[in-house]
Amino acid sequence: MTTTDQPAQAERPAPSAGSVRSSNGFDFGAVLPLPPTAARLVDRVQDVAPRIAMVLSGACGRPVGVRCVGAERIGAAQLGPATATWCYADAGELGRAALVVPPELTVALADAFLGGTGVAPEVSRPGSPLERRLVLRHLQPALQPVVAALSDEGLTRLELGEAQELPPNGSLGDLVTLRLLVSLTPIKDQDEPADPAQVIRLALPARTLLPAGGPSYAAPVAATAAALAEVPVRVSVRLAPTSLSAAEVESLTPGDVVRLDHGVDVPLDVLLDERVLMHATLGRRGRRRAILVTDLVGQL
């Protein structure tokens, strides 16, 4: 089985063991060298691809083919076209990840989930907000076998966030993307080149997948650390999401009460950006709402 499929690398000289440079310096458009663990990651995800296909087949009401067609190392700016459906994802100990679904596949999957033909329109268009939400909602359970496949690499969970409108920012850093070909018809030829319009990309932080003997960085000097400590950061508190139908949302008026799926005894997630830092319980301090930190689960 071919474990990596990187046609983009064939269009430029193979990168050296060091950085990839052009005549003017670093070539930010070049494909970076893959970490040595990439082939093993692809094999593990391919092993659970039939389980992913089974979940999607049940949601679509028809056979769906899924195949892991390789991995690549990229930056956040190279994740996908602006019209793609994408979201941040909580990848447990690995940190913050991202999921990208091409616009054509978004529309086709949404149509299949709603009982349609699953055929994307001839003229490509981005998925509507409802289509994007529907696709991410069904991909959440479908991709859970990947957690079991990569648990040894630190992937303890995979929780998809809401579809994003703005392109990914640089805070995601260096990424290793696993590419999953999703076909709404059974895959007959396992070696057939993958159509990019049918490939979902799961982007995981590359630094957590590199060998332990990789480059290390010295701690910042005291003056730098003190300056960084004064930088304001935005911290948010998240409750478990609740699913409502489009009709229920449209009928909401001021004064309506929406029952949340978050149990009263379940800790809240405290996040920096989309990364969970700690758990807490909700309370009050004077005339303001407050939280009591119960345990730490991440680092700043």
Q: What is the pLDDT of residues 192-210, one digit of tens each?
A: 677 888 999 999 887 766 5
pLDDT tens digits, 229-264: 888 888 888 888 888 888 988 999 998 998 888 887
Q: Average the pLDDT over 169-181 and give the result.
A: 81
The pTM assigned to this predicted structure is 0.62
pLDDT bracket for residue 1 (50, 70, 90) = very low
What is the C-alpha separation between 26 and 204, in angstroms, rounded?
23
What confidence category does residue 101 fall into, taking pLDDT thresholds of 50, 70 and 90?
Answer: very high
Residues β-bridged to residue 87: 99, 163
Q: Please compute the mean of the pLDDT values over residues 9-35 and round it to a whole number.
A: 47
pLDDT above 80 (res 31): no
Q: What are the distances in angstroms from CA 236 to CA 49, 67, 294?
A: 35, 37, 15
Give the pLDDT band (50/70/90) at residue 153: confident
The label of the residue with tokens 């709603």 reads 114
Q: Model confidence over 44-91: pLDDT tens digits?
A: 999 999 999 999 999 999 899 999 998 888 877 778 788 899 999 998
Alpha carbon distances (Å) from 160 to 51, 140, 173: 18, 6, 18
